[in-house]
Amino acid sequence: MKDKEKGQQGFNTRCVHSGEGIDTDTRAIRRPLHMANSFEMPTDVEELLKVLSWDHLDKWEYTREHSPTPRYLEQRLADLEGAGDCVVSASGMGAISATLFTLLKAGDHVVASEVCYTAAQKMLSHYLPRYGIEVSLVDTSNTEEIAAAIRPGTKAVYIETPGNPLTFIADIQGAAEIAHGVGAQLIVDSTWSGLTTQSPFDLGADVVIHSMTKYLNGHGDALGGAVLGTTEFIKQVREDGIVHLGACISPFNAWFIMRGLVTLPLRMKQHSENGLKVARFLEQHEQVQSVFYPGLESHPQFAIAQKQMKDYSGMVVFSLGLELLDNFTFIEHLKMIKHAVSLGHDQSLIYYLPTVFFFEDMVVLEDRQKEKYTEIMGEGVFRLSVGIENAEDIISDLSQAMEMMRS
């Protein structure tokens, strides 16, 4: 968990109080939900200019630009992540798209993770090249590959850490040094960290992205994304990437996520403790072929995870080495853990990813890359989002399902 800075309230306290205030109309001790899309504007010219200015985010005009409820959420996130400012979006992909289209132009070059969230990879490999932006996709868990891909015209290095779907860890500080060496920006998608387990800005990141749909919301009932960075950069993202591209968040979803953040440190502590217990159980089980969890010494980037993470979140990847259809039979035997996409919910979720389907998603992988990931994944892997249930109950459910596979 983030350390308390001198003169600053503790992280848990700020999760409760940052962005909050007494409602001036009712004296309610929680901010109300403002669903209005338009706000009465002043006729005084000086005040009107403030409303129309991006420098006065406490003056409201139209919800696509900014409105009270999303703004309170932005204030809380900027405080928690240690950023100059924050802008929230309709989804995690809205945040990624807004960032890339704000930062890049034709002729620029990007170095990015060859394996990352499937929609992000398609944005990087398909959409950006259509607009004259060159992209080099490499294994960003290997800083040597990042360094080898850098060019004089590189404007950004984009990494996910922990990475989706294999939990690979990128060295944030190492990537930042490489990027800054050519004047490039380091963008870190920190979604799988749950915000509490690592501090990318302290390690040199310039921009941090979260899919708030996942751990920040934590309840599986709202979509949202967030971009965090300097005040000046976020001002650009708000106008160029959110307002003009249209990925503004619903105040209702912002209100849900604001509520979810109150319990974030408590939930992430439970996710992390459960994740480690489940990973250790799986690693010791004779039916399990492989396990990937950043908190295990067997993880290929365990040393980096130890250096830059405080806990290891709740994402566990494992393989049972079964025939394709038998993996779905295993899922059918689970009683509590639900077969569903997404992650970071309060309840445990599992998703089976056949390697052949993975390659269909990661469409730009070359043969040498496919050989590497086939060796890592075998025929396929389970992606388990460990929830906040009792760890013993999660383990018991996995155990009984594996026992059923013996019969």
Q: Would you list the domain boundaries of the chain?
A: 11-261, 264-406
pLDDT tops 70 at residue 403: yes
- pLDDT of amino acid 360: 82
Mean pLDDT, to the nearest integer, of 230-240?
96
| Residue, of 1 and 332, whose pLDDT is higher | 332
- pLDDT of amino acid 1: 37
Angle at 47 between CA 42 and CA 52, to 5 degrees: 85
CATH T-level fold of 11-261: Aspartate Aminotransferase; domain 2 (3.40.640)
Output the furthest CA–CA distance in the chain (Å, rounded).
78
Q: Which of 29-33, 78-82, 187-191, 393-397 has the lowest mean pLDDT?
A: 29-33
pLDDT tops 90 at residue 84: yes
354: confidence class by pLDDT, cuts 50, 70, 90: very high
5: confidence class by pLDDT, cuts 50, 70, 90: low
Residues constituting the chain: 407
Mean pLDDT, to the nearest integer, of 176-201?
98
Candidates 3.10.25.10, 3.30.70.640, 3.30.70.100, 3.90.1150.10; correct CATH number of 264-406? 3.90.1150.10
- pLDDT of amino acid 50: 85
pLDDT tops 80 at residue 325: yes
pLDDT tops 70 at residue 6: no
Mean pLDDT, to the nearest integer, of 226-235?
97
291: confidence class by pLDDT, cuts 50, 70, 90: very high
